[in-house]
Structure 1
Amino acid sequence: MTAQYFAPVASPQQAREQFADRHIGPSPDDQARMLAAIGYASAEALVDDAVPAAIRTDRPLELPPALSEPAALARLRELAAKNKVYTSMIGLGYHGTITPGVILRNVLENPGWYTAYTPYQPEISQGRLEALLNFQTVVADLTGLPVANASMLDEGTAAAEAMTLAHRVSRRKEPGAFLVDADALPQTIEVVRTRAVPLGIEVVTADLSGGLPEGDFFGVLLQYPGASGAVRDLEPVAAQAHERGAQVVVAADLLALTLLRPPGEFGADIVVGSSQRFGVPYGFGGPHAGYMAVREGIQRQLPGRLVGVSVDADGATAYRLALQTREQHIRREKATSNICTAQVLLAVMASMYAVYHGPEGLAAIAQRTHARAAELAAALRAGGVEVVHGSFFDTVLARVPGRADEVVRAALERGVNLRRQDADHVAVACDETTLPEHVTAVLAAFGIESAGTAEVAPAFPEALRRQSPYLNHPVFHQHRSETAMLRYLRRLQDKDIALDRSMIPLGSCTMKLNATTEMEPVTWPEFANIHPFAPIDQAQGYVELIEELESALAEITGYAKVSVQPNAGSQGELAGLLAIRGYHASRGEGHRNICLIPSSAHGTNAASAVMAGMKVVVVKCDDHGNIDIADLHAKIGKHGADLAAIMVTYPSTHGVFEETITEVCEAVHAAGGQVYVDGANLNALVGLARPGEFGSDVSHLNLHKTFCIPHGGGGPGVGPVGVREHLVPFLPNHPLRPEAGPRETGVGPISAAPWGSAGILPISWAYIAMMGPDGLRAATEAAIIGANYLAARLAPHYPILYTGRNGLVAHECIADLRKITKETGITAEDVAKRLIDYGFHAPTLSFPVAGTLMIEPTESEDLAELDRFVDAMVEIRREIQRVADGSHDREDNPLKHAPHTAAALLDEDWKHAYSRQEAAYPLPSLREGKYWPPVRRIDQAYGDRNLVCSCPPPEAFED
């Protein structure tokens, strides 16, 4: 980063114009009042008492001074200008697409959608849940399989998850072999290999155009259409696989499936892919919503999130996340996947693209795309160029002996990127954006004069043409005009609570300001429209931005090197553990496979350790929520010779700065293990402490938490991995981009794209640039002040479960309701649902301790909002007291029946002992800007017993 735009503050009146003062909610006067409530005179004194001296850094952040918002945008304009936006006809799973303006403005650029959280509280998430149900319906209908999940991280990781799913379904105890079609996307093949190695699975690649080779395989991965563009009849191969007891996985192009026979009709057990070409820009590789659909009988083993249909307390149709007990945060080391986030915002965009175009519109786009490719192929043949495949959808593979480089170069001179497959072959991929002049330019690159646009026949056999209908549900037929679409999006948005409506006080999830200036560059064409495999000189702005961001993150964390490739925190965890695994193997200690994990850890920690081929050994926590040091030493004593690592969240998942963290690190190192510090709670450390300095060897960071990439309803996320010098050789790399990691020693690609979700990295770059070193530290101090202020205000009403030194917490606190529940029957869930009536999203419910609420205010919430939340919690405590003293019935009270919809309050047959006014307006302030939940409390068990995971028929909505 450069500081050339930095200008000193000229006057006190301009002080508030500094971005840090806009980002940090409480003013200096407000912070003084908050500190007084905690019992401190200054932030420095509080930090000194809260943060152990042993972990404090002895040097300030060496980052450029803060840029103003205009200066940061100007610098980003400079970087964007270094990117060259060419017409990319490269393919390989990434295609040009047109994002309808109504979706661009009202979803991607709309904080009502991008600041939402994962829909664990479904009553205030009905809008995004409906959008995700639409997505699942699109995927299920197009693939021809009955159940699809709510998105995957990308196509490559979806294929890797399909491999492990196929292994589970096969019920084989030994790892076995997984067969991959040589015509699969090269990045997919390598992601599958990366994930297979630690699990002991052998990945075999072979040309499957003539059938299966000899051998025993538990699963087969086919690409449809192939990476070369070939469209083959895969039914015979699928039948052979089933005859030999193997599961059939098909990686399919959703747009092609509007014209081609769906995989579910020719024997696929699992179908995976990407929805990128449904209106989501390239973004230099991401973020894009992958997908997975499965046959009947294995849906309860499906990884990722699954939206299902249930009913609320009045019997009305309502949506929620289904089968959550199978997810990693419940199953921990028994989990079958470590996926924590998905790609919700991008899945919403893709689903709305399908809603807006409908089946006829999608088919028309596919037909136009195919027609361009068929015209190109016909003209090439007419010009004497051999077209390798007679059957294709959008990609034409031309054979030009010894001339591939010449053709690619000639196309480049005409502003078009083609794909050099080898010295003799060039691939050309058409898409929604391909125009006749693009075809003309490509033909000229081959030395052929355009032959016009005569109509040509389809380039795939009639036997492979789709006959079955899709997207018959009314939602895909009702919103053709922009007015209708605009109102549909607004109607869904209004059902939800996102950060644009109120504070989201989720502990462990850091829902902070995603500033408009940070978000703005994401949709600039120079960032949005760069293909991930375009020539690297066309992405110099991206390369420079990524280098600056990785360097800044390394400085903040104290590590030698950071890789931004992992496109989720869970993938960052896996990358870090694979680096540890690679390091031990390089030293002849590949037997080290024990991973110690405290009982309080995030569920992804244990799941990631298993994915990395390690065995989990749990370390106990003491009564104060800290790692039990005696138990740690006992476990090290027992497993020391095989100890690979310990995974520690710091500050702890219990919301405290543990005093013994340096002792933990020293003990693990002494036994030859490595220390992994989970970066989920880095918001309490930036500027105060560096994990790489106080004993950690590796961390993943959550850019969608500490560094302001928005949660988007459960994704996108970025989970960079930072390592000390000795682990640098074992960072992720990429088969198609040698610049993306250590070429010879890297562990392989963690994500399909070389730099993961590169398209949203400008957000975190801008945050760091505009905050500067002083602002970043001030944000951390404000987060610690806010958490301790809430703890002090709430403690007289709700016990604070864990505190650290001097009775202080870190950046979050846990309110303990277990005694209240025992005395009154009112549960933490009842309080969570009642908070909806007060207009708040609930804190984190029953994690890490059942019967509690974990609360994190973040530094971007101002004092007025913090006090509004406290007022709500105090009034709820009064309502609980009325239950305790008998004023309210233990079963018929505002908490047990929360949330209350407008319809419920207007029901003439009001049967409750409490009043309608008490239900709706427990505080006078709620009369202004009242949030009305769209449904009452949802019956979770009903939804799991009666699993419906696609759009229900219209009759379901009849009164």
Structure 2
Amino acid sequence: MTASNTAPSNSPSAAFVSRHIGPSPNEVADMLKEVGAHTLDALIDETLPKSIRQKNALEIGPALSETGVIAHMKAIAGKNERFTSLIGQGYHGTVLPPVISRNILENPAWYTAYTPYQPEISQGRLEALINFQTAMADLAGLEIANASLLDEATAAAEAMAMARRVSKNKPDTFFVDADTHPQTIAVIRTRAEPLGWDVVVGDPETELNPEEVFGALLSYPGTSGAVRDLTGIIKGLKGAGAVAAVAADPLALTLLTSPGEMGADIVIGSTQRFGVAMGYGGPHAAYMATTDAFKRVLPGRLIGVSVDARGKPAYRLALQTREQHIRREKATSNICTAQVLLAVIASMYCVYHGPDGIRRIAREVHSRTAILAAGLKQAGFAPLNETFFDTLTVGAGDRANDILTAARKSRINLRDFGDGRIGIALDETTTDATIEAVLAAFGSDAKVAELAGDAGEGLPADLKRRSDYLTHPVFHMHRSETDMLRYMRKLSDKDLALDRAMIPLGSCTMKLNATTEMLPITWPEFAELHPFAPADQALGYSEMFEALSDALCAITGYDAISLQPNSGAQGEYAGLLAIRAFHRANGEGHRKVCLIPSSAHGTNPASAQMAGMDVVIVACDEAGNVDVADLEKKAEAHKDDLAAIMITYPSTHGVFEEEIVKICAIVHDHGGQVYLDGANLNAQVGIARPGKYGADVSHLNLHKTFCIPHGGGGPGMGPIGVREHLIPFLPGHPALDGGDSPVGAVSAAPFGSASILPISYAYAKMMGGDGLKRATEIAILNANYIAERLENHFPVLYRNEKRRVAHECIIDPRALKASAGVTVDDIAKRLIDFGFHAPTMSFPVPGTLMIEPTESESKRELDRFIDAMIAIRAEIEEVEKGSYSIEESPLRNAPHTVEDMAEDDWTRPYKRSLGCLPGGMEAGSKYFAPVGRVDNVYGDRNLVCSCPPLEDYQEAAE
């Protein structure tokens, strides 16, 4: 055993490294013997090209123990100042019911789950998401809503792109209400510019000509707080063939006429104030609702209802859920994720409070705002907006600075418009004392009790809501905490997450999300900061951002990091925008061709299209590598307009390509830049630095390599690292630079989903450089171990010249379709019976399975998975021998449910125990999928995307 096979015993991080990494030193030795390598170093030498091997140790500062990192994080958190922020601008104080906090946000059954692509093992989170969709569609007054988007600003940009796709109007101009949050306007401008769309910002009542736009975004209420009837404006837009989108606060919609009733085509907004802390900007679940006519162009994920093999109702992802993987460069969006964990929390907030509870909260917020308005008027500062829900804008002139300073002395942040106006936004946490402190800052000693009798109402009488919402029984059934607790437990019991078993998904890196890493995200010092609070109140965040960025630079070899992109796809987009801006700054704006290997992740061509680039596909050879000859040919053909190449490394096929340095050189020699997709960075940390072997920019999936949990499909974070020449072209933000950056904002908040960055920071601090390197080595060892043991049962499709795979491998069961009629779906569903989530199916090669074990799985769990795969191969052999047909086999009937176990009349040609308890599993520890195999075709033909009464599905069950 060499020193590199285990963390040094005297290291303060040794205990954590050994807990994060699954195999013990003895197991590592056994696995090395199995794969035919003497040491980990020898294995890495055979896996990685020597030309890119990192020679120096990874220096990221001293490693800390778990106890040490908690103390360290407490010290950092203590440097953040918790003021009461009444800044508004889309971010508000809120109260997360403790029963939801403990049993959703802090529960690994929810936060370690993967995206629900396998519906049979995802019924719990799918039900929670369909509750979310139902709530948002109800509040918006429209027929359908998606399962969340990244944030309000990017949802607005998605609405613009959707409007362009469906609009009957030809002009390439989009109108934005000037009373829209400035960060939303900034993100819309960023999105529109590469596509050649003009954005006009103005007063929709006086400056909007519907004939001259393909769509418009209106705000309801506006960022100033004003509430106006949009019916006439929307009617004018639709009469001209343009699309009407509305940004709406869902809490306000409990009291206001819905945008759908006004005729809106699309409604977007943030559900942050439904129980999700501000978190210095995120993560939060945005929503998008639309009419039934536009359901097939709705971006993001959509949950629908289908039936299972017994005809029972079952939830599933529906329609165009991953449309960018199908349409690629023709896709209108690169969205491949959501904010599932946050959408689940928001949906549970609706379930917990019900319509009456949420309406009561909204009325209390509005009542307090009316009291504040009366007090301000009495003090000589009558609000500029006569109508309002929760936000007032006051003209203070040259007294503005004194008022803002006085408020801060009372530890209250108000919004500074910068032109003598002050904004004040109240929320469900606002108290009488808060209102009186605000009035005191304006020089008034008025008391709430005295003002209450004089307070009027800010909601226009003709805009008061009369339609019902949240009418489904789920929003009325769980009033007691006991019922609420049991409902959430019932849903989590239906699902298979990382807390139960290995999730061997290729390219998704489902690794340990350690409890110590998760603790700080709920601390109020991190959770309760407003993203636009004064910088001196966020010194702890600033320190952590700098330290995390330095660590990521050391790991990747890049010179700077932007933490703003709040998903991997958003990082791709930001990286390509940086490349585009670099070429334009050099007077080469004509460089628009982006080379993309045929094996690329579907978001790559979609992101390139969004960045205004033209995609040219580069072939891959039989070994799965980029065809260098074809690359040279394409680079030469487009040398005058080559902008970039997008390449995933190690490749999507799970191999370190030997020619990566040459590939980078070819692109550079022809005037392009190298975008290296960081999805597979877990195979490089500590052993190779992309910024040192030729890449110019990468996005880093913190929700993969750096331990942010997947949360059932979000949150994610996708910061980008760049070399020095691209630093000026990192994303800007109006809150940081006034909007003067060469590349504008790509996310609503300056630092994206800041409140989950402590997870990755704590991980790096506890692992240290040696621990991170060891994690990479073990991830590669685990993948090679699986490949070696499965080779004789399922061929491994790609290896390098020394027969090594990287951190993942692709097994190829396609020949079994001919010999036994077995599909990749059959294998995936049968794995559920063994208690496993399936590997990645049919990507990047249709009909195959891509397996990534990560470093966190023990040899025992790896062997359990391997044994399950071998047992499945034996069942396939029974089909090949004619023991039973594929239709009668345990594979085609998988997954087996409790109903199968309890069936009185078992008529199948295999034993009940083989079907329901394969491999000698004990019934007491067995995971049973709550539904049988889901019928996808039925679900798309009979699309239902909101909570249905169960009796509606009796016909399907008969």
TM-score w.r.t. the length of structure 2 is 0.97
CA deviation after TM superposition for structure 1 residue 916, in Å: 1.0
1:34 and 2:34 are equivalent in the alignment = no
CA distance in structure 1 between the partners assigned to 2:448 and 2:371 by the alignment: 9
Residues 1:218 and 2:211 aligned together = no
What does residue 677 of structure 1 align with? Answer: 676
CA contact (8 A) 2:7 2:14 kept: no
The alpha-carbon deviation at position 341 of structure 1 amounts to 1.2
| 3-state SS, counterpart of residue 552 of structure 1 | helix
Further displaced range: 882-891 or 133-142: 882-891
Q: Determine which of 141, 148, 153 is the counterpart of 1:151.
A: 148
Q: Aligned match of 2:202 in 206, 229, 232?
A: 206
Distance in 2 (alpha carbons) for counterparts of 1:124 and 1:890: 23
Alignment match of 1:807 (pick from 794, 803, 810): 803
Amino acid at match of 1:33: D
| 1:633 Cα deviation after fit | 1.2
8 Å CA contact 1:87–1:417 kept in 2: the answer is yes
CA distance in 2: counterparts of 1:864 and 1:40, whole angstroms? 20
Output the CA distance in 1 between the equivalents of 2:166 and 2:189: 19
Aligned to 2:790: 794
The yes-or-no answer on 1:71 pairing with 2:59 is no
CA offsets 1:835-854 (integer angstroms, 9 cap, x no match): 00000000001110011110
For 2:871 and 2:829, how far apart are their aligned partners in 1?
14
Superposed, 1:153-192 pairs within 5 Å as 153-171=150-168, 176-192=172-188
Correspondence 1:752 to 2:751: no
Name the counterpart of 1:5. none
Deviations 1:467-492 (CA, angstroms, capped at 9, x unpaired):
00001100000111111110000000
2: CA distance between counterparts of 1:203 and 1:895? 54
Partner of 2:435: 439
Q: SS where residue 402 of structure 1 aligns?
A: helix
Distance in 1 between residues matched to 2:323 and 2:146, nearest whole Å: 13
Find the counterpart in structure 2 of residue 140 from structure 1: 137
- 1:619-658 aligned at under 5 Å gives the runs 619-658=618-657
Q: Contact 2:12–2:64 (CA<8 Å) still a contact in 1?
A: no
For the Cα contact (< 8 Å) 2:650–2:657, is it kept in 1? yes
Structure 2: which 5+ residue stretches go unaligned?
A: 1-5
User: Is it true that 1:537 corresponds to 2:536 in the alignment?
Assistant: yes
8 Å contact kept, 2:559–2:721: yes
Contact 2:210-2:237 within 8 A present in 1 as well = no
In the TM superposition, residue 12 of structure 1 has moved relative to its aligned partner by 5.1
Match in the other structure for 1:908? 904
Letter in 2 for 1:341: T
| C-alpha separation in 1, matches of 2:7 and 2:669 | 53
Q: Partner of 1:736: helix, strand, or coil?
A: helix
1:557 aligned residue? 556
Show structure 1 runs of 4+ deviating over 4 A: 9-17
Distance 2:853 2:296 in 1: 35
Deviation per CA, 1:151-192: give whole Å up to 9, x if none: 0000000000000100000156x6610000100000000000
Match of 1:45 in 2: 42
User: Could you tell me how far apart the structure 1 residues matched to 2:625 and 2:658 are?
Assistant: 9
Structure 2 CA distance, aligned partners of 1:190 and 1:584?
22
Which residue of the partner structure matches residue 362 of structure 1? 358
- Name the structure 2 match of 1:724: 723
Q: What is the CA–CA distance in structure 2 between the aligned matches of 1:152 and 1:691, rounded to whole Å?
A: 30
* CA distance in 2: counterparts of 1:155 and 1:205, whole angstroms: 18
Q: What is the alpha-carbon root mean square deviation over aligned residues?
A: 1.5
Shift of 1:629: 1.1
CA distance in 2, matches of 1:422, 1:237: 29
- Asked if 2 retains the 8 angstrom alpha-carbon contact of 1:175 and 1:200, the reply is no
Any conservation in 1 of the 2:160–2:174 contact (CA below 8 Å)?
yes
Query: How far apart, CA to CA, are the structure 2 residues paired with 1:875 and 1:885?
Result: 15
Q: Is 1:106 equivalent to 2:103 in the alignment?
A: yes
Who is 2:864 aligned against?
A: 868
The alpha carbon displacement at 1:415 in A equals 1.2
Give per-residue Cα distances to partners, 1:609-631, cap 9 Å, x unaligned. Answer: 00000011111111110111111
Q: Distance in 2 between matches of 1:373 and 1:467?
A: 22
Distance 2:361 2:321 in 1: 40
Q: Which string of whole-angstrom CA distances, capped at 9 and with x for unpartnered residues, describes residues 880-900 of structure 1?
A: 101111112221000011001
Q: Deviations over 1:52-76 (max 9, x none)?
A: 1011123221211211111111111
Partner of 2:400: 404
Matched with 2:3 is none
User: Which residue of 257, 274, 286 corresponds with 1:290?
Assistant: 286
Given residue 48 of structure 2, which amino acid in structure 1 is its aligned partner? V
Q: CA deviation at 1:324?
A: 3.4
Shift of 1:31: 0.5
2:52 corresponds to 1:55: yes
- The answer (yes or no) to whether the contact 2:731–2:741 under 8 Å persists in 1 is no
Local SS of the residue matching 1:566: coil
The corresponding residue for 1:119 is 116
CA–CA distance in structure 2, aligned partners of residues 584 and 770 of structure 1: 40
- Deviation of 1:424 after TM superposition, in Å, equals 2.3
Q: Residue type of the partner of 1:316?
A: K
What secondary structure is seen at the aligned counterpart in 1 of 2:596? strand
Q: Which secondary structure state, in structure 2, belongs to the residue aligned with residue 297 of structure 1?
A: helix
Letter of the 1:34 partner, please give it.
M
**Structure 1 residues 486 and 35, CA gap change in structure 2 (3 angstroms):** same
* Residues 600 and 621, structure 1, Cα contact 8 Å, conserved in 2: yes
Percent of residue pairs bearing the same amino acid type:
61
Structure 2 partner of 1:571? 570
Q: Deviations over 1:12-63 (max 9, x none)?
A: 5998952111100001111110010001111011001111101112322121
Partner in structure 2 of residue 89 of structure 1: 86
Aligned to 2:296: 300
Q: Deviations over 1:856-881 (max 9, x none)?
A: 00000011100110110111111010
- What's the counterpart of residue 316 of structure 1? 312
Task: Tell me, in whole angstroms, the C-alpha distance in 2 between the residues paired with 1:39 and 1:131.
Answer: 47
Letter in 2 for 1:69: E
8 A contact 1:50–1:805 mirrored in 2: no
User: How far apart in 2 are the matches of 1:957 and 1:168?
Assistant: 34
Q: In 2, are the aligned partners of 1:182 and 1:206 still within 8 Å (CA)?
A: yes
Equivalent residue pairs, number: 947
Q: CA deviation at 1:214?
A: 7.7
Deviation, structure 1 residue 136: 0.2
Partner residue, 1:6: none
Query: In the aligned structure 1, how far is the partner of 2:607 from the partner of 2:136?
Result: 27
Q: Deviations over 1:575-612 (max 9, x none)?
A: 00000000000001000000000011100001000000
- Rounded to whole Å, the distance in 1 between the matches of 2:820 and 2:211 is 63
> In structure 1, what is the Cα distance between the partners aligned to 2:696 and 2:168?
37
Q: Give 1:518's aligned residue.
A: 517
Any conservation in 2 of the 1:211–1:236 contact (CA below 8 Å)?
Answer: no
Distance of 2:207 and 2:138 partners within structure 1: 28
Q: Deviations over 1:348-397 (max 9, x none)?
A: 00000000000000000000000010000011112222211111000011
- 1:70-95 Cα deviation digits (max 9, x unpaired): 11111111110000001110000000
Distance 2:953 2:494 in 1: 17
Q: Is the 8 A contact 1:212 1:240 kept in 2?
A: no
Measure how far apart 1:928 and its partner are: 4.6
| Range moving further from structure 2, 399-408 or 857-866 | 399-408
Residues 748-897 of structure 1: matches in 2 within 5 Å?
748-897=744-893
* Deviation of 1:207 (Å): 1.6
Alpha-carbon offset, residue 953 of structure 1: 2.0
The offset of 1:401, in angstroms, is: 2.2
Tell me the CA shift for residue 420 of structure 1.
1.3
Which structure 1 segments of 5+ residues have no match? 1-8
SS in 1 for 2:640: helix
Match in the other structure for 2:694: 695
Give CA deviations for 1:409-444 in whole Å, capped at 9, x if unaligned. 111111111011234211110001000100000000
Alpha-carbon distance in 2 for matches of 1:745, 1:210: 30
Partner of 1:3: none
> What code does the residue aligned with 1:101 have?
P
Asked if 2 retains the 8 angstrom alpha-carbon contact of 1:325 and 1:331, the reply is no
Q: Secondary structure at the match of 2:503?
A: coil
Which residue number corresponds to residue 474 of structure 2?
Answer: 475
